[in-house]
Amino acid sequence: MGTLKNNVQLIGNVGQDPTITTLENGKKVAKFPLATNEHYKNAKGEKQTQTDWHTIVAWGRTANIIEKYVTKGKEVAIVGKLTSRSYEDKNGTKCYVTEVVVSEILLLGGNE
């Protein structure tokens, strides 16, 4: 179990076109929401779908790939790690954010 670390693997659909930001040093960062679905049957035997939304962040070469090939509706598989951070908004309220930082992305399906 010592080799299992902070590792996330998700397959889902991109919720909106990625936002690409180029920083002062020329490095790019891509950010987009990813929807993952879990299907199950409720107590009455009816099919149900639970959708979870994840904030995905990618840097450098991975951000370049996302900029070129990833659009809203695209099915992708990602491997990355969970990160958490906090900040204060303009009203002084402390906000907490959990994101998946991508190390690998695989383009799976077409736009839906």
Tell me the CB-side half-sphere exposure of residue 67, using CA atoms within 13 A: 15
What value does the CA radius of gyration of the chain take, rounded to a whole number of Å? 16
Residue pair 15/37 in contact by the 8 Å Cβ criterion:
no
- Structure tokens that stand for 57 in this block: 């962040």
The pTM of the full predicted model, rounded to 2 decimals, is 0.84
What are the tens digits of pLDDT across the range 39-65? 999 999 999 999 999 999 999 999 999
What are the tens digits of pLDDT across the range 3-25? 678 999 999 999 999 999 999 99
CB atoms under 10 Å from CB of 17, counted, come to 13
